[in-house]
Amino acid sequence: DIQMTQSPASLSASLEEIVTITCQASQDIGNWLAWYQQKPGKSPQLLIYDATSLADGVPSRFSGSRSGTQYSLKISRLQVEDIGSYYCQQAHSNPNTFGAGTKLELK
């Protein structure tokens, strides 16, 4: 199985701050990478797919990038509604696998 190593596990940031979360794939997955946001008590929401494509309705302050087998999610100006957990997912091969998650809190 492809392992997705996500970091950091938790993150505390201030409003308007730039936030970056990363995922390292254990092997080449091309651009087959998605990011999800999960607010407390809610189901996940797709933010980014194909490593860099913004899902419908997602604010433009969210962006995705790739460098080799390392993938990053950037929130350009943190808002209060961005608080929650974030997960990466590789969709290159089955079983498709998720990172362990990053819990984002307000400082």
Partner 1 sequence: EVQLVESGGGLVQPGRSMKLSCAASGFTFNNYDMAWVCQAPKKGLEWVATISYDGSSTYYRDSVKGRFTISRDNAKSTLYLQMDSLRSEDTATYYCAKQLYWYFDFWGPGTMVTVSS
76/96 with CB nearer partner 1: 96
Tell me how far, at minimum, the Cβ of 1 lies from partner 1, in Å: 9
Which amino acid is present at 81?
E
Q: DSSP assignment of 16-38, as one string?
A: T--EEEEEEESS--TT-EEEEEE
Residue 29: CA count within 13 A, CB half-sphere:
32
17/38 with CB nearer partner 1: 38
Q: DSSP assignment of 81-97, as one string?
A: GG-EEEEEEE-SSSSPE
- Whole-angstrom distance, CA of residue 41 vs CA of residue 32: 27
Binding site for partner 1 (CB under 8 A): 32, 34, 36, 42-46, 49, 55, 87, 89, 91, 94-101
Tell me how far, at minimum, the Cβ of 99 lies from partner 1, in Å: 7
Tell me how far, at minimum, the Cβ of 60 lies from partner 1, in Å: 18
17/50 with CB nearer partner 1: 50
